[in-house]
Amino acid sequence: MLPVERLHLDHVLQTVSVLESVVLRSFGPEGGQMLFIRDTGQAMLSRSGTKILTALRLEHPLARMVVECVLKHSAATGDGSKTFILLLASLLRMIHTTACKVPNVSHMYNSREAAVASTARRLAKKLVAFAFEELDDIFAMGVAPYGCCLSQEDYILTAQSQTNNPCVQKLLATFFHSRLGGTHSDLFSHLTSEMLINWIVRGEHPSKSLHFIYDNLPALHTPVSGFSISCSRLIEGQVIHRDFAAPCPQSDQQPVKAVILTGFLHPEVLCAGEVLQLGCEDNGTENSSWKQSIMQYSTWAESSLECAIARLRSLGVSVILSAVKQSAAALALAAQAEICIVECISEDELFLFGHLSGVSPVTDCRMIKPDDIALLTFCRPILLGSQRYVHVAFQDLDKRLIIKPCSLIICGAGEGQTDQYVCAFRDAIRMQLSTWRPIGTAASKQTSQLSKSESLHAEDQICKSLSFQQSLMGPGCVVPAGGTFELLLHHALLQHGRSVSGKADVDRFAVSQILANALLSIPKNIYSHSSRRFLETQTRLMGFINKQKHNTNLEQNLEEGIGNQHCCREINTPSEVFMLDLGLESLSCKYQLLLAVLQCVSNLLQVDTLLHINTTSHT
């Protein structure tokens, strides 16, 4: 008989609470870093919930299931993994208390525990159904009016004056605050928004450019350890993470002409599988090699190499960016012809270079055409930390692409730190991408399919297809951070519950109560160091909501018939005040988070038994 473990709600709650206690250490403004030592002895620092949870290497199947849900969620949004756990724990707790209160009316259950479990299961199902049916409306009514919408102009506006429209920067600052702590968040949000300004193509949907940055991130940043973080900066052009193969005299001639080469300069005389026979006299005339020296083959190869170099020289090429390692002879001849060679460049970097310069790679140097030559304003060595790299800048970019390519240099005291900054940067881009995803049931259904296929690229099409539909809240909606979202939704849910309480639907009321109360745990944990701050924020927000409602009532009276199709309002309301102190977070991320947590809860509660199977491990 297999060892069977009956699962009770208590067990589930206990497991999730343990996870919660770990995550709480780095949650909110008072949270700190987690230091993770890999099995190789390498140190890694993180405040990211995903990293913390994977580092724990949990054994308990339930905990692993939770971690998997978190990973899936954060792979899609790049944010909210710590909130996921907190919300999950709080929801389970609420369900537990509610389920325990329900009187045991049925005799079908032979124990009280079974009754509790079944009630909990039913509640969880109701919660998911509730979320799918009514959450959209509640969001549109109760939360979205207090937020604002990012528009494409925000990215461009920031370019003109740094202080004019701080929305994007605020959004990033809040994200980095939760990822890197308060001390560096300003610096990083500034760098990131500047990077976005330079890369985002005018007149195109921002998510397209964001995708490009996300995909090319390895080639777009350089980590440098040993320096203070304040040395992090943006530099013009691209950094190729290789050094010149031979020290090369720099000419001031402009423009610098470069080619991308994926093959060898030195021709291969013998390909794999071919056989060269030396000195076989019996073949007579057919194979005349018997009298020839082997050196003739290398003579031929070298003269061919010389021709290739001469050809490059006649085209005026002075830089070769090679994907492979070239022979010593090729390097020496190129140096004599004053051509610099950069060897072993990774595919990603060559792709980016090709994209920015508009040329395609060449396999054989003898086939080179004038179209394959890239024009650069400069190509020079750059010393970053202990490494020397090649720094290039492109010519005539204004005409071809309407962007200013730039590279991010991330400095930190050690490798652990720079890695952390890079991860945070990548997730910030992903978070921005999901901010641009529209909210609504249609979108959420499609995205849930998406997360299965794990393709980020298809989101573009969704954005386009949905732009025709009238979605409830436009993409790019942001709300004030610091627990404001949870407090707003809490309030909206309570109101919603009150409005339906007249009907016979008791469950719906209970469900919205559970969700509303569970949400409160987030702001409580944010202000865990002083409950005074929590109460202050809550009162301030409530006062604000009441005032706002008064205004909207007046407005609605005036323009009846339009209905309550709220589009997000521009920031000219007093909500601006809130945003400026608290920062911003993406509404779309929050929406997805809520759905993901509710699904996770119902998944967890569906399980009733654990079966431990013994498999003989292969040794």
Partner 1 sequence: MSRLVQKSPSLCTDLPLNNSDVCNKLRLLKELLKSCYGPTGRLKQVHNNIGGHVVTTSTSSVLLPALSSSQPLVNLIRSCILNHVSRFSDCGLFAAILCLTLIEEAKLSGLRRNVSIKVNKHLLGMCSSYLQEEDCGCRVVLDFCSSMNLITLTRSVIYSKPACVLAEVEALHMSKLAVQAFLLTVPCNSPGTVRLGRIVTVGVEGHPVLNSAVLTGLLVEVHDHLSLRMIKSMQTNPLRVVLFSASLAGDLSDLGDGIIEAHTGVDTDSQILDQLLEFCKHVVEDEVKLFVCQKVLHPVLQQYLRNHGVIVIDRVGVALMEPLTLLTGAQPVATLHTTIPAKAYGTVRSLSVKEFGSKTMLHLQPAAESAVCTMVVCHRNETMLSELKAVCQQAEHVLRLTLKEPSALLGGGCTETHLAAFIRNKVRFFTSLILLVIYLFITVKNTVIPSQSLNEVSQTLTAVECSQSEYLLGVEGFCRSLESVAAALQHDGGNSLTDLTHAHHWTLPADVTTENMEESLTFCGCGLTRNSPNMKWTHLNTKYPQFSPAPALRDSTVQPHVLDSFTAKLNALQVAVETANLVLDVRYVIQDTN
Instruction: Give the range of 115-123, 243-251, 371-379, 389-397 binding partner 1 by CB under 8 A.
Output: 243-251
Contacts (CB under 8 A) with partner 1, residues 437-456: none
> Should residue 529 be labelled a site residue for partner 1 when binding is judged by CB under 8 A?
yes
Q: Does 279 engage in binding with partner 1 (CB under 8 A)? A: yes
Residue 280 · residue 342 · CB < 8 Å:
no
- Tell me the two tokens of residue 425: 């940067």
90 touches 472 (CB < 8 A): no
Measured from the CB of residue 47, what is the shortest distance to partner 1 in angstroms?
9
Among 278, 324, 402, 506, the residue binding partner 1 under the rule CB under 8 A is 278
By CB under 8 A, is residue 580 in contact with partner 1? no
- What is the rounded distance in angstroms from the CA atom of residue 463 to the CA atom of residue 467? 6
Interaction between residue 612 and partner 1 (CB under 8 A): no
Our CB check for partner 1 shows the closer of 137 and 306 to be 306
CB of 87 to partner 1, least distance (A): 20
> Interface residues for partner 1 in 180-199 (CB under 8 A)?
181-183
10 Å Cβ neighbour count for 108?
8
> What residues contact 125, with CB distance under 8 A and at least 6 apart?
602
HSE at residue 145, side-chain half, CA atoms within 13 A, is 20
Q: Under a CB-based contact definition with an 8 Å cutoff, are residues 431 and 587 in contact?
A: no
Please identify, using beta-carbon distances, which residue of 301 and 494 lies nearer to partner 1.
Answer: 301
User: Whose Cβ is closer to partner 1: residue 152's or residue 304's?
Assistant: 304
AA letter at 544: F
| Listed residue (388, 387, 266) closest to 332, CA to CA | 266
Is residue 147 within 8 Å of residue 478, measured between CB atoms?
yes
619 binds partner 1 per the rule CB under 8 A: yes
Stretch binding partner 1 (CB under 8 A), from 99-107, 177-185, 346-354, 433-441: 177-185
Contact by Cβ (8 Å): 584, 174 = yes
Query: H or E segment at 4?
Result: strand 4-6
**Closest Cα partner for 450 from 133, 130, 77?**
77
Please check whether residue 91 is in contact with residue 516, taking contact to mean a CB–CB distance below 8 angstroms: no
- Site map for partner 1, 361-400, x if CB under 8 A? ------------------------xx--------------
Minimum distance, C-beta of residue 606 to partner 1, in the bound complex (Å): 26
Q: How many residues interact with partner 1 (rule CB under 8 A)?
A: 82
Q: Which of 277, 557, 609, 614 binds partner 1 (CB under 8 A)?
A: 277
Return left, alpha or beta for 519; rule: phi > 0 is left, psi -120 to 50 is alpha, else beta. alpha
Q: Least separation, in Å, of the C-beta of 81 and partner 1?
A: 15
Which neighbouring-strand residues pair with 46?
Answer: 34
Q: Which of 280, 310, 580, 607 binds partner 1 (CB under 8 A)?
A: 280
247 part of the interface to partner 1, by CB under 8 A: yes
Strands (E), 448-600: 477-480, 584-586
Specify the stretch interacting with partner 1 by CB under 8 A; choose among 77-85, 111-119, 227-235, 585-593.
Answer: 227-235
From the CB of 421, what's the least distance to partner 1, in Å?
12
Segment 28 to 87, residues that bind partner 1, using CB under 8 A: 29-39, 41, 43, 45, 52, 55-59
Contact in structure between 155 and 607 (CB atoms under 8 Å): no
Whether the CB-CB separation of 300 and 269 falls below 8 Å is answered with yes
Tokens in use for 19? 């996870």
The DSSP secondary structure of 52-89, one letter per residue, reads HHHHT----HHHHHHHHHHHHHHHHHS--HHHHHHHHH
482 near partner 1, rule: CB under 8 A: no
Task: Say how many residues make up the chain.
Answer: 619
- The residue within the footprint of partner 1, chosen from 225, 451, 501, 548 (CB under 8 A), is 225
| Residues in 335-354 at the binding interface with partner 1, rule: CB under 8 A | 335-336
Return the range that interacts with partner 1 (CB under 8 A); candidates 70-78, 87-95, 328-336, 556-564.
328-336
Output Rg (C-alpha) for the chain, integer angstroms. 31
Q: Which is nearer to partner 1, 59 or 559 (CB)?
A: 59
Q: Which of 228, 453 has the CB closer to partner 1?
A: 228
Q: Kindly tell me which residue out of 167, 320, 333, 522 binds partner 1, with binding defined by CB under 8 A.
A: 333
Binding map of partner 1 across residues 289-308, x = CB under 8 A, - = no contact: -x--xxx-xxx-xxx-xx--
Cβ at position 342, least distance to partner 1 in Å: 17
